[in-house]
């Protein structure tokens, strides 16, 4: 946003969230930030300060926000604040309704904030808005932290089936999700080898296929799908156990997966319990079939 701001608008940025991560589509997050910042700039026609902050927030109790309930948990909070005209309470109640706008004809469709709410809702988040006429507005977006979920479930892993150092080839094109899955596999007692490129993972497998005990692969990837990669892996070693990860589910996907020789299918975002169960199941089947 910095390069597109008017000359009379200053930008202040604070990003103490560090390496915290969320599971989301990058395009959605881009729309989220762009729409919130654009809305803030339009509220400062005479100029002002746009403040953007990203921080981690942990809540132990459910909280009632201005536009929804925030369940207890671990979150990343994106805050976008302006020093513009602000909004009276009656307007604040309707800002997320489609086609609702206070802008002049031809200066806005009223879909920007409705889109924001739709994205936040889809990601399992919540929104809090503070505004006062003449005193600017602040939008606080809470999105569930995926890294905190892994940390918080380490204790729960004590009662889950665990590995004994088996090597798992992990292929996930989104690096934050790959790192999260690596952490979860390590928590469960496996030795992960993570890759974001399917071709690199295939090269690693071909170099020494007997060194690996199982494969965990994403369904949708840019170079080749998880099913295509699984087929190529099986050409090298037919008995390698493979688990497919997918954000989609249903009988069609299951049919395609099992037809391609996939041993198990789990849904994303990853859950430690289902991951532990899937890896344990394919390991048992592999031992039984030997």
pLDDT digits (tens, 9 = 90+) for 4-14: 889 999 999 99
Same domain, 253 and 177: yes
Closest CA to 73 of 9, 148, 20, 21: 148
Closest CA to 243 of 223, 219, 215: 215
The span from the CA of 72 to the CA of 18, in Å, is 21
Check: CB of residue 230 under 8 Å from CB of residue 217: yes
Listed residues 116, 147, 178: the one ending a domain: 147
CA distances (Å), origin 58, targets 65, 145, 168, 205:
15, 10, 32, 40
ω into 269 cis (within 30 of 0): yes
Check: CB of residue 49 under 8 Å from CB of residue 12: yes
Check: CB of residue 69 under 8 Å from CB of residue 126: yes
Closest CA to 86 of 135, 49, 35, 36: 135
Residue given tokens 């090298």 in the structure block: 236
Q: Is pLDDT of 107 > 80?
A: no
**String of DSSP letters for 124-148:** T-EEEEEE-TTS-EEEEEEEE-HHH
The span from the CA of 263 to the CA of 99, in Å, is 48
Listed residues 128, 147, 166: the one ending a domain: 147
Same domain, 129 and 192: no
- Residue 242 in 3-state DSSP? strand
Closest CA to 152 of 256, 287, 257, 59: 59
Same domain, 134 and 186: no
Same domain, 258 and 160: yes
Mean pLDDT throughout 41-68?
89
Q: Kindly report the CATH number assigned to the domain that includes residue 190.
A: 3.40.50.2300
pLDDT at 22 (0 to 100): 87
The span from the CA of 17 to the CA of 52, in Å, is 12
The span from the CA of 2 to the CA of 52, in Å, is 11
Work out whether strand 167-171 and strand 126-131 pair parallel, antiparallel, or are unpaired.
unpaired
Kind and range of the H or E run holding 27: helix 26-42
Same domain, 138 and 161: no
Which residue range is the domain that position 103 belongs to? 2-147
- When mean pLDDT is compared across 166-170, 202-206, 265-269, the lowest value belongs to 265-269
pLDDT level of residue 99 (50, 70, 90 thresholds): very low
Q: Which residue has the higher pLDDT, 6 or 271?
A: 6
| Interval 78-91: pLDDT, tens | 999 999 988 887 77
| Interval 110-148: pLDDT, tens | 446 878 888 888 888 889 999 888 889 999 999 988 865
Closest CA to 53 of 31, 21, 76: 76
Structure tokens, 241? 């156990």
| Interval 144-198: pLDDT, tens | 888 654 555 555 566 788 899 999 999 999 888 888 889 889 989 999 999 999 9
Domain count of the chain?
Answer: 2
Same domain, 127 and 200: no
Q: Which residue has the higher pLDDT, 114 or 214?
A: 214
Same domain, 157 and 95: no
pLDDT at 165 (0 to 100): 94
Same domain, 93 and 198: no
Q: Which residue has the higher pLDDT, 184 or 233?
A: 233
User: In the predicted model, what is the mean pLDDT of the chain?
Assistant: 85
Same domain, 129 and 32: yes
The span from the CA of 108 to the CA of 111, in Å, is 8
Instruction: Look up residue 96 and give its DSSP letter.
Output: T
Same domain, 62 and 92: yes
Same domain, 35 and 121: yes
Same domain, 159 and 116: no
246 φ, ψ to 5°? -150, 140
The span from the CA of 85 to the CA of 45, in Å, is 9
- HSE at residue 219, side-chain half, CA atoms within 13 A, is 19
Listed residues 132, 147, 162: the one ending a domain: 147
The span from the CA of 72 to the CA of 60, in Å, is 5
Closest CA to 73 of 83, 63, 85: 63
Q: Kindly report the CATH number assigned to the domain that includes residue 21.
A: 3.30.565.10
Q: Is pLDDT of 97 > 80?
A: no
């Amino acid at each position: 946003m910095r390069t597109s701001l008017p000359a009379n608008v200053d930008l202040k940025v604070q990003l103490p969230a560090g390496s915290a991560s969320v599971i989301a589509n990058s395009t959605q997050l881009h729309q989220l930030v762009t729409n919130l910042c654009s809305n803030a700039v339009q509220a400062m026609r005479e100029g002002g300060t746009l403040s953007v902050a990203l921080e981690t927030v942990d809540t132990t109790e459910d909280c009632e926000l201005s536009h929804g309930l925030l369940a207890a948990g671990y979150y990343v909070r994106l805050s976008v604040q302006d020093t513009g005209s602000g909004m009276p309470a009656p307007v604040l109640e309707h800002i997320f309704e489609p086609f609702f706008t206070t802008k002049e004809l031809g200066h806005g469709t009223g879909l920007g904030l409705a889109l924001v709410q739709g994205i936040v809702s889809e990601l399992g988040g919540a929104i809090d808005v503070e505004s006062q006429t003449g005193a600017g507005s602040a939008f606080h977006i809470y999105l569930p932290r995926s890294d905190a979920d892994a940390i918080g479930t380490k204790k729960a892993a004590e009662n889950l089936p665990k590995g004994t150092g088996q090597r798992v080839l992990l292929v996930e094109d989104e690096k934050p999700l790959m790192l999260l899955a690596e952490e979860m596999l390590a928590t469960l007692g496996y030795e992960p080898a993570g890759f974001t490129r399917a071709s690199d993972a295939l090269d690693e497998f071909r170099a020494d296929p007997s060194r690996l005990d199982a494969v965990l692969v994403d369904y949708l990837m840019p170079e080749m799908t998880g099913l295509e990669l699984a087929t190529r892996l099986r050409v090298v070693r037919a008995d390698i156990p493979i688990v497919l990860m997918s954000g989609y589910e249903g009988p069609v996907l299951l049919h395609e997966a099992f037809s391609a020789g996939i041993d198990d299918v789990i849904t994303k975002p990853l859950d430690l319990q289902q991951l532990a169960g899937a890896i344990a199941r394919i390991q048992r089947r592999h031992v039984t079939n030997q």
